Structure 1
């Protein structure tokens, strides 16, 4: 049985990856320090003999005695509400954390896949975004802590690949959604759904003309799985190319949730990208992959998940205690 280490295992995407690799017959070692993860996302796996868990911060030295064949590095704050509160920790998990995992991959002779992001493209001047576009990122803006952490992560990964011969893979993840997202994490889908379920008006930042392309989690996991077992070391976009404006998307949410709220507008955050759409030509050619789940189907599943959350989850605001991490 092959063993895979998945960092960020208690997060939204990390927990779905744990499920997938257990289903495929792997022994999964999950690692998370619960800064932004949720123990409930993996509680169904705790009694599974093919799953073990280590509570650990990947920016600290990682020591695992057993053989590891594969590593998925998905530990990182991914929501602006998080990385703006813990900017230094966000930079450290992309730099020190990635360095530690590359060292572990080298020692274990394991293949490492890192989770990069469409945010490396910044506010793009090329549309849709292709893997050979270098991006338009404000290095000193508030979002730079996340964008540059991921850009550095790609650079150090390629350096280890070229210099040490480590088997590496890089996935550039575009907006992904589905069950287990945090309802109040500040990203557009949980924000809209939380407001709809609470009977609040839906908040759009800017004039709503900015676009996003939403990929359902099952499709994203399938793309990551195929990329891990490919022979390609360079970045690959994994996302859904069906683009929609935020204004139109808000109307879809109102229709889906059968509510009567109106839409209100607030100022656009600094450096918020105006367009986001992946060119997935490479993924189609290299992996024979493209998304299968329609937005209508995926949003229904996601809404059912949010609708069935405990009432205290619906009405609580995010007040996570980051105090022990802010000064580190």
Structure 2
């Protein structure tokens, strides 16, 4: 019986991987865009915290921008605590990792969750210097090599906070290399290598800057839109996120930020046209979660 389950699972995930690589390559595909004048019907109702009594020019401009685009430019619900956290200090934030750091899928082309963080933290004031080293397709082995680049190493050495998204492409690599005979055990075996490389990434960053605070942002099930009822995908992603969280807990200055739960929402579309990356709404939720962790640590 187990053999037939593995066969069925192999066929399903192989189909998902084929679709994924037809839609995009890991490095060179053009990011999805939308007509800038297109009307956006779906607004972020859950995050509408506009204070109608506040008539300041700055808030009026923000309200006008939201009305025109359908997207709040900043995480208004967390704005007050954010201002309080960053206002009395100059902060350098380095974001590094894969396409989730780069902001692939953000139809507004404003840098995904990192861009939202920038606009929220620096709302009217430049209180934080945020540098984005996100690179589409990056796996843990590739990120390890990039940490040796002089520019990246220097920025991390000068940083106060490092944000990382990594790991989803490690899972995709397993799927691609075993596409014709894929079983769950392939992911279990690769997870050991992933755990080793995550530790190496952490150790290298700490060697560059022992004082910086590191936040590893978890990832979601990239196949959820295609195979919503296949629980094996959720189990794989959940196991890798748990491993990431456990490793982060081994370090005093590293925090794991879960995001998998954010993408289980069924009432709002949180995915871009490629059905793998977040759209603006998805990145908005990620930014909100990251701010929550940063400002309450």
* Structure with more of its chain in strand, by fraction: 1
* Structure with more of its chain in helix, by fraction: 2
Normalised by the length of structure 1, the TM-score is 0.39
Return the structure number with greater relative CO, CA threshold 8 A, min gap 6. Answer: 2
